[in-house]
Amino acid sequence: MRITVVGGGVIGLLTAIECVRAAAVDRVDLVDAGPIPSPSATSNDRLRVVRALHRGEPALTHAAAQAHAAWMDVEDRVESRFYHPAGALTAMPVQDAAAELAVLTAAGAKAWTLSPDELAGRYPRIRFPDGTGAVQEATAGVVLADHALVAMARWLSHQPRVRLRPHRRAVEISQNDRVATIRYADGESHTADRVVVAAGPWSRELVPSAIASDLTLYRQTVLSYRAPAWLRDSTGMPAVLGLGPARDAWLMPTVPQSDAPLRLSAASACRPVDEMTDRVTPDQWRAHLVEVFSQLFPDFDPAAVVDSTDGFYLAERTRGGPLLATYGAGTVLAYAACGGMSFKFAPQIARALADRAVGAPPRPTGLDSVDRPRQLAAVGEE
């Protein structure tokens, strides 16, 4: 069996790794419009948080509780270290914390609650609204995403059944019941028994209109902030989420043996856009986040903002998460969304995609849109 994976981000790389482990697969081609790993992939970032808690969504919390171990398994597979179990802290109204802790505990995560006094005492440099408590997860962490992608690509490059094909921009994927054809921008093409499309925000260009019309493109601004002395000298700083009156701001911490700055952002800095352009942050959005974090950190220093970047991701229009579709009698699998949730669940998603590609029963991910994909008979048909 010949499998082609389109996309050199985290989903594409991990899906290729899972496919090459299957005995039935003779060859895996991994293609991308740029280098592999792709520097323009949504997942090619400095830091990504892996945590379990999804407030008010017990099923998703149970599924995400498996991500901690899944990422450590990936490290073992590619023989590299890029996952740091720094923990995660989610701020919330104190009256909600006990119920969320119960869900986490039932899911097998190690976690505990913090009262408003404990929260203020432990994190005095962060301003929390009155009546704010928190749930802290020990079984959570931070992935050095760019390091992880390099390690995965290096592992794949040493596999005799894998062919990496960088700088090959796929422009069309056609299929019949038994074979798929990938056509490239230079006019060349090749065929495969199965194709997995995992091209991140570019996926809309490669999938049928029935899928593309259900995807929204978002642009997110993130600040890089030079850690102040109190944070550089501290240990055990977790990722912090649920910050601010709207509880939509977050902080990704520094990690040991990394020069990565803090990453700061908020849902209010995410907006739908019509198309992908450059990644240069408009002044208004940088200023917006500076204002947000000036209110959250009493000693916030705007001069310590060393960079700001914009990234793009796709989300399903109605539910806001990933979307998986199959067509051509399963010849093509299109994982046509990306973002933070996809990164967290990437090991589980990749296993499910590879299972479907090789014809094995797909292992459940806990993500309904992945476990129950949309099925089109062929391109252009619902």
Amino acid identity, position 118: E
Q: What's the mean pLDDT in 348-373?
A: 94
State pLDDT tens for residues 289-298: 999 999 999 8
> Given this model, what pLDDT does residue 232 score?
59
Q: What's the mean pLDDT in 24-38?
A: 94
Q: What's the mean pLDDT in 68-93?
A: 94
Q: How far is it, in rounded angstroms, from Cα 281 to Cα 128?
A: 27
**Helix runs in the chain, H state only:** 10-20, 58-64, 67-78, 97-106, 116-122, 145-157, 209-212, 229-232, 283-296, 340-344, 346-358, 368-371
- Local confidence band at 336 (pLDDT 50, 70, 90 cut-offs): confident
- Local confidence band at 231 (pLDDT 50, 70, 90 cut-offs): low
CA distances from 86 to 49, 93, 149, 211, 236 (A): 9, 23, 20, 37, 6
Q: For the beta carbon of residue 335, count every other beta carbon within 10 angstroms.
A: 29
pLDDT at 254 exceeding the cut of 80: no
- Local confidence band at 234 (pLDDT 50, 70, 90 cut-offs): low
Q: What's the mean pLDDT in 142-152?
A: 93
Q: How far is it, in rounded angstroms, from Cα 49 to Cα 37?
A: 20
Q: How far is it, in rounded angstroms, from Cα 290 to Cα 266?
A: 11
Higher pLDDT, 206 or 341: 206
> Given this model, what pLDDT does residue 230 score?
64
pLDDT at 381 exceeding the cut of 50: no
pLDDT at 166 exceeding the cut of 90: yes
The phi-psi region of residue 56 (left if phi > 0; otherwise alpha if psi is between -120 and 50; otherwise beta) is left
pLDDT at 47 exceeding the cut of 60: yes
- Local confidence band at 40 (pLDDT 50, 70, 90 cut-offs): confident
- Local confidence band at 43 (pLDDT 50, 70, 90 cut-offs): confident
pLDDT at 321 exceeding the cut of 60: yes
pLDDT at 89 exceeding the cut of 90: yes
> Given this model, what pLDDT does residue 253 score?
83
Average pLDDT over the chain, rounded to an integer: 91
CA distances from 241 to 23, 139, 165, 238, 250 (A): 42, 15, 38, 9, 4
pLDDT at 16 exceeding the cut of 80: yes
Hey, is 49 helix, strand or coil?
Answer: strand
> Given this model, what pLDDT does residue 380 score?
41
> Given this model, what pLDDT does residue 382 score?
42
Any idea what DSSP says for residue 150? H
pLDDT at 178 exceeding the cut of 70: yes
Q: What's the mean pLDDT in 232-247?
A: 82
Q: How far is it, in rounded angstroms, from Cα 181 to Cα 120?
A: 58
> Given this model, what pLDDT does residue 192 score?
95
Indicate the pTM of the whole model. Answer: 0.93
Q: What's the mean pLDDT in 5-30?
A: 94
pLDDT at 256 exceeding the cut of 70: no
Q: How far is it, in rounded angstroms, from Cα 123 to Cα 134?
A: 11
